Amino acid sequence: MIRLGGRQLAAALLLPLMLQGCSSYTGLSATESQPANFPDSFYLQADTNQVYSIDSQLSQIIVTVRRGGLMARLGHDHIVASNNVRGLIYLDSENLLCRAQLYVPLAILEVDNLQLREAAAMTTKPSAADIEGTTSNMLKSIEAEKFPFAQLQSQDCSGALNNQSVPVTLTIHGVTQSRELEISLHQSDDSQLDISGEFSMLQSDFAIQPFSIMNGLIKVQDRLHLSFQLRAQLTQD
């Protein structure tokens, strides 16, 4: 198992994650695209008074992509964001059992949002054509049509309540790996959870070849940095 460090934030849980508890959960719209294994039977059978649903409008995952190669100065660093995080978190009334199941649709990732670039203090200014090309190259690299979702699950995320590492499985590009992430989960009231954290990963660990041109003189670095802030609301009938 790989252990990843990371500065915990003041809110609580991830991207990149998933939680769960004798009622049925109605879930997302039947017409909405989602992984075939979502949600799993645990959430379908859980008490809805203990199941929280990710609020996509109040949640975000940000991926920082750095340029590399001998001619890196001719390229750009990039910010890739998801404002469409979906998932469920189960937290029992005693705060002893915590499970999570999250996913992100990859085809609708946002590349190089101006405000996010400014917040990250990125100095270069890619043109609209640059951004369009970057988006196209990214979707090809991750084979988004073949592998449309990034998924994260945790069978025991209770450690996030006590500043302890959380074991998760992360599935990207058809590859599943076990990791330990530092995640903060805060229960602000009986109906809301805030989740936050950050970690790094290598694209090559998930069989993704980082994009490069000119025999690697300009390329995307293998290592990515991810940060997330998520809001989850109780899914009561």
Sequence ranges of the domains in the chain: 2-26+36-234
Task: Please report the pLDDT score of residue 188 as a whole number.
Answer: 80
pLDDT of 14 higher than 50: no
197-218 confidence digits (pLDDT tens): 999 999 999 999 988 778 767 7
- According to the model, what pLDDT value does residue 13 have? 32
Determine the average pLDDT of the residues in 25-53. 77
What's the confidence (pLDDT) of residue 219? Answer: 83
Mean pLDDT along residues 190-198: 92
158 against 189, higher pLDDT: 158
Map tokens 């008490």 to a residue: 47
Give the C-alpha separation, 106 to 172, whole Å: 10
- In words, the CATH class of domain 2-26+36-234 is mainly beta
CA-CA distance, 161 to 169, in Å (whole number)?
19
**Amino acid occupying residue 34:** Q
Report the alpha-carbon distance of residue 74 to residue 58 in Å, rounded.
35
76 within 8 A of 219, measured Cβ to Cβ: no
3 CB-contact burial (10 Å; exposed 0-12 / middle 13-18 / buried 19+): exposed
Residue 237: band (very low, low, confident or very high) from pLDDT cuts 50, 70, 90: low
pLDDT digits (tens, 9 = 90+) for 75-92: 788 999 999 999 999 999
Give the range among 151-155, 160-164, 179-183, 222-226 with minimum mean pLDDT: 160-164
Q: What's the average model confidence in pLDDT over 92-104?
A: 92
Mean pLDDT of the chain: 84
Q: Mean of the pLDDT values across residues 31-43?
A: 84
**pLDDT score for 50:** 94
Concatenating the DSSP letter of every residue in 139-202 gives HHHTTTTTS-EEEEEES--GGGGGT-EEEEEEEETTEEEEEEEEEEEEEEETTEEEEEEEEEEE
Q: What is the pLDDT, as a whole number, of residue 16?
A: 32
Query: What does the pLDDT average to over 172-201?
Result: 93
